[in-house]
Amino acid sequence: MTIKVIDFDKDAGQRSEQRLANLPDRVVEGDPHHQTVLQFESANGEVIAGTWRSTPGKWHAFTDRDEFCYIISGHVRLIAADGSAQAFKTGDAFLIPNGFRGYWEVLEPTTKHFMIRRYAAQ
């Protein structure tokens, strides 16, 4: 079996689109739309990686995962449950650890590369 290195710029990946408002009780502000190109999924489904785009809005952050992000373009803010906030712009990289509770806020249209390790709901 040959293992292929994945080039996010050249490999097509699996595309999907989602209007976040379609997830009950998720959106706090705006009407964010997401486009995702899934470039990788591990055999057991625990690890995924790809490219994500979002229009502005604010929503409850997903939990039960570790997520590494690299912002290709745009401006986002992560707001913890205690109200502390961190902003990230083009060229920034960060890790959201499993257990983070708070909000994603996309301040301007944003594109990021991501890698997520999912955990079973606790």
pLDDT tens column, 40-99: 999 999 999 999 999 999 999 988 999 999 999 999 999 999 999 999 999 999 999 999
Confidence band for 121, pLDDT divided at 50, 70 and 90? low
Res 11 pLDDT > 90: no
pTM to 2 decimal places: 0.91
d(CA 53, CA 36) in angstroms, rounded, equals 6
d(CA 95, CA 67) in angstroms, rounded, equals 6
d(CA 106, CA 98) in angstroms, rounded, equals 20
For CA atoms 29, 61, 39, 120, give the dihedral sign.
negative
What CATH number has the domain spanning 15-118?
2.60.120.10
The three-class DSSP label of residue 1 is: coil
Strand partners, 51: 37, 113
- Mean pLDDT, the chain, integer: 93
